[in-house]
A and B are shown apart, each in its own frame.
Chain A
Amino acid sequence: MFLVDPVAHLFEADLSVVVGSALMLADSNVEHSVHGWITAIYAVLLVAMIVGLALEEKIHAKKSIIVGSFAGICLILATVLELLPFGSVELPDHSEIPLPVYIPSIDWGVITIILGASLFVEVTSRSGVFTWMAILLTRKSGGDPWKLLIFYGLLTVLFSAVLNNVTAMIIIGSLTTVSLRKLNRSELMLGFLITEGLLTNVGGLLTLISSVPNIIVGKTAEISFGRFFVVAAPYVLVATGVTLIMARRKFGIRGLRTDEEKAEARRMVDSFDPGESIPSTHFFWFSVISLVLFIGGLAGQSALPWGLDQLELGFVALFFAGVVLLAYRSEVDKFYSAVDWDLLAFFASLFVVIHVMEHAQVLALIGRGISGLLSLPSPGDSIVLLSTSAAASSVTDNIPLAAMLAQILNSMDTASNSPYWWCVIFGANLGGNITPIGSASTVVAMTIIHRQQLKLTFGGFVKTALPFAIVQIVLATIYILIVF
């Protein structure tokens, strides 16, 4: 299945031609010429926005406010400088409707996937299905630390894939602190939490909807849900196994040896009652069935009959969110308020910024830089693209990075089966494991670590996590080179 793709080879062979035409294409999107100083101003604005996002915690401002402010500045400046094409928007039936210029800039497909999936996860998690699984596996481990690490590691990957990285880290991290305290093994807590934090970003690679960079890049590259899973799953499996083995050695996590130890640990974990997390058996099973159908719906979206596939993934996500919300029809407002509106507003603003940047020729400028990287002989191009994506996403938000790179690769007319898309996907996800601010889930891991009064500095995290991240990134590079 993962033999070398002839189309990819063709793509690589004609890279210079493709890059050249891509840049021409990028230029053709902007109908008027742009002075160099305008591009420079916008490039500075882009850098300022990225720095602002990196310093989010320091400047005490949410992502949506930071990017929203830049979107506003970019729009005003672009209007004054006459960069944007104002006018009606043409629909597929050739009719025209008047829309504010910033509305078509937003990729509503991405927004609806995130909104639908967030609502669906919020409702189904109330059924206790995820906490039930977590407690059940805690009991199955018999309180053995090594088995517990394996189970929690696998659950982290699974939850990151099905839910989102942050929720996965919160659920497994919380259970880790409670169960290890119960087992009087608090000394292992730091190792467990770091490992789980690192595995969220590995699990975030499993499906198209597991992380936002996946959604953005996957959708731009027109990678289907099923194709994404088939390509990503073997890597996730190997990387999870390697990470767990490294964690065992690094943090000295050993299995129980004597029968007395095993009996005592078994007695302690047996006090966890999985049924306690289920408020209603009826809703529990309803959620389980919905979850299976939801994943099935996403996986089979492209094969939906009667032209329903044209409604796209976002509709599938919103449809299932609507179905599960019926169970709480009188209190849906509670779930609406739980939606991460900051994230959605951040996206909407980000798309506006990127749209303006495109018109200001900033993306073409970055594209030229990237085309330099991609002109390296294979496999140097993939290695460099993946490594630089990882390095960049380790210090700043991986979402703008993924969005910009996706847009640039798209403007370069990159083929859907090109390894470049996967370099960006793997790099943007795994780069989050290098520093504690590299991804939202490692930030959560640090929060739980500090909540438990465990000492771990920024430097301490990097020192501990870097070997894991390097191994994961090297594995990803080798994997991409083998598969594509």
Chain B
Amino acid sequence: MRDHIDEFESMFRRADKEQFSYVDIPIESVTLVSDGTQEQAELVQTDVQRFIRALDSVGTWRIIAGDDYQTVAELVALIDEQQTDLLVTHRHLQESSLVPRHTLGVYLDVLTQTTSIPVLVLPGRSNNPVRVASGDCDRVMVVADHISGDNRLINYGAVMCREGGSMWLCHVEDDLVFERYMQAIGRIPEIDSDDARILIENQLLKDASDFIEECSTVIQAAAPNISVQPYVGRGHHLRDYRQLIQDHDIDLLVLNTKDDDQLAMHGRAYSLSVELVDVSMLLL
């Protein structure tokens, strides 16, 4: 009897689908953090305004240049002084002498974790930036471990995407994690391993597919000039995203970095943001 009750409860839970709500996120003030001079920062601001059309009409731009701060605490204090909706910066601020690799730099690390303000990380490194003015941001990719229900992430992606552009909503189910669970299931005689593999994989991918389909319908109604493209699959997180970015010539990657259980950026977001230095990223 308990089996039957559980069977129907599962059926009804499956019918309960995550809803997507489109919200136009207002960005009224932007703070650009640079380790260069005021003039260099103003050039970057112009590039960014050309790159992301939504930022062109922002009322308040504030620049924090390299001379304005010496420590992370000073920078955080400066940011806290004035309300801002978006931070724009580079990796490895104030670290030109360190030849940094495999990190975001101490400033960006702290910014992504101590503030709730989204951070737009420009490609390249602070001492070796890649200009973004070469093209409009019309190919945005939203990255999510669990895209289902991630309204905020997708709404930011839609804001950043130029009208007429495309937004890829991606969900890559990690093979390593999946196989680890399958190995455990393979050792439980009460569970049919073959059935479990097929059913769990299908359900994991279906939840993401259904949600993306729902997003697509809602976005098409609210912002009909943005084309939503789905990608749902199993594979290697970093390798697959690298390939997707290359295949679709992505201009901006949007991803979550916060982890409820820890102060540090969560693992997969960190690896993506460290490894994929040639593409702009919006870290939430």
Where the two chains meet, the residues of A that have a C-beta atom closer than 8 Å to any C-beta of B are 131, 134-135, 166-167, 170-171, 173-175, 177-179, 182, 267, 270-274, 276-277, 443-444, 447-448, 451
Whether A178 contacts B1 in the complex (CB less than 8 A), given A271-B18, A273-B17, comes out as no
Q: Name the distance in Å between A6's Cβ and chain B's nearest Cβ.
A: 47
B4 contacts partner chain A, Cβ-Cβ < 8 Å: yes
Q: Which of B7-61 contact A (CB under 8 A)?
A: 8-9, 11-19
Can you list 11 residue pairs at the A/B interface with Cβ under 8 Å?
A: A135-B12, A167-B4, A174-B5, A174-B8, A175-B8, A177-B9, A182-B16, A267-B19, A273-B16, A273-B17, A444-B1
Q: How far does the alpha carbon of A451 sit from the alpha carbon of B15 in the complex, in Å?
A: 21
Q: Name the distance in Å between A148's Cβ and chain B's nearest Cβ.
A: 14
Q: How far does the alpha carbon of A173 sit from the alpha carbon of B9 in the complex, in Å?
A: 9
Q: Which of B4, B13, B19 contacts A170 (CB 8 A)?
A: B4
Q: Are B4 and A179 in contact (CB under 8 A)?
A: no
Q: How far does the alpha carbon of A131 sit from the alpha carbon of B4 in the complex, in Å?
A: 13
Residues of B in contact, count (CB < 8 Å): 15
Q: Which residues of chain A come closer than 8 Å to B8, judged between CB atoms?
A: 131, 170-171, 174-175
Closest to B4 in A: A170
Closest to A130 in B: B8
Q: Are A272 and B19 in contact (CB under 8 A)?
A: no
Q: Which residues of chain B come closer than 8 Å to A274, judged between CB atoms?
A: 15
Q: How far does the alpha carbon of A105 sit from the alpha carbon of B9 in the complex, in Å?
A: 41
Q: How far does the alpha carbon of A333 sit from the alpha carbon of B14 in the complex, in Å?
A: 26
Q: Name the distance in Å between B23's Cβ and chain A's nearest Cβ.
A: 14
Q: Are A276 and B17 in contact (CB under 8 A)?
A: yes
Q: Which residues of chain B come closer than 8 Å to A179, judged between CB atoms?
A: 12
Q: Which residues of chain A come closer than 8 Å to B18, judged between CB atoms?
A: 271
Q: Are A175 and B12 in contact (CB under 8 A)?
A: yes
Q: How far does the alpha carbon of A267 sit from the alpha carbon of B14 in the complex, in Å?
A: 17
Q: Are A131 and B12 in contact (CB under 8 A)?
A: yes
B2 contacts partner chain A, Cβ-Cβ < 8 Å: yes
Q: Are B4 and A270 in contact (CB under 8 A)?
A: no
Q: How far does the alpha carbon of A484 sit from the alpha carbon of B17 in the complex, in Å?
A: 52
Q: Which of B5, B17, B19 contacts A173 (CB 8 A)?
A: B5
Q: Are B16 and A451 in contact (CB under 8 A)?
A: no
Q: Which residues of chain A come closer than 8 Å to B1, judged between CB atoms?
A: 166, 170, 443-444, 447
Closest to A179 in B: B12
Q: Are A271 and B12 in contact (CB under 8 A)?
A: no
Q: Are B16 and A272 in contact (CB under 8 A)?
A: yes
Q: How far does the alpha carbon of A173 sit from the alpha carbon of B5 in the complex, in Å?
A: 8
Q: How far does the alpha carbon of A233 sit from the alpha carbon of B5 in the complex, in Å?
A: 29
Closest to A269 in B: B16
Q: Name the distance in Å between A426's Cβ and chain B's nearest Cβ.
A: 26
Whether A451 contacts B5 in the complex (CB less than 8 A), given A270-B19, A271-B18, A271-B19, comes out as yes
Q: Are A271 and B17 in contact (CB under 8 A)?
A: yes
Q: Name the distance in Å between A435's Cβ and chain B's nearest Cβ.
A: 18
Closest to B2 in A: A447
Q: Name the distance in Å between A222's Cβ and chain B's nearest Cβ.
A: 34
- Most chain A CB atoms below 10 A, which of B12, B16, B18: B12
Q: Are B17 and A170 in contact (CB under 8 A)?
A: no
Q: Which residues of chain A come closer than 8 Å to B4, judged between CB atoms?
A: 167, 170
Q: How far does the alpha carbon of A443 sit from the alpha carbon of B15 in the complex, in Å?
A: 26
Q: Which residues of chain B come closer than 8 Å to A443, judged between CB atoms?
A: 1
Closest to A132 in B: B15
Q: How far does the alpha carbon of A173 sit from the alpha carbon of B1 in the complex, in Å?
A: 12
Q: Which residues of chain A come closer than 8 Å to B19, judged between CB atoms?
A: 267, 270-271
Q: Which of B2, B9, B11 contacts A277 (CB 8 A)?
A: B11
Whether A447 contacts B5 in the complex (CB less than 8 A), given A131-B11, A277-B11, comes out as yes
Q: Which residues of chain B come closer than 8 Å to A277, judged between CB atoms?
A: 11, 15
Q: How far does the alpha carbon of A349 sit from the alpha carbon of B2 in the complex, in Å?
A: 26
Q: How far does the alpha carbon of A174 sit from the alpha carbon of B7 in the complex, in Å?
A: 9
Whether A174 contacts B17 in the complex (CB less than 8 A), given A444-B5, A448-B5, comes out as no
Q: How far does the alpha carbon of A99 sit from the alpha carbon of B8 in the complex, in Å?
A: 43
Q: How far does the alpha carbon of A349 sit from the alpha carbon of B13 in the complex, in Å?
A: 40
Q: Name the distance in Å between B250's Cβ and chain A's nearest Cβ.
A: 31
Q: Which residues of chain A come closer than 8 Å to B5, judged between CB atoms?
A: 170, 173-174, 444, 447-448, 451
Q: Name the distance in Å between A296's Cβ and chain B's nearest Cβ.
A: 27
Q: Name the distance in Å between A197's Cβ and chain B's nearest Cβ.
A: 13
Q: Are A178 and B17 in contact (CB under 8 A)?
A: no
Q: Which residues of chain A come closer than 8 Å to B16, judged between CB atoms?
A: 178, 182, 271-273
Q: Name the distance in Å between B215's Cβ and chain A's nearest Cβ.
A: 14
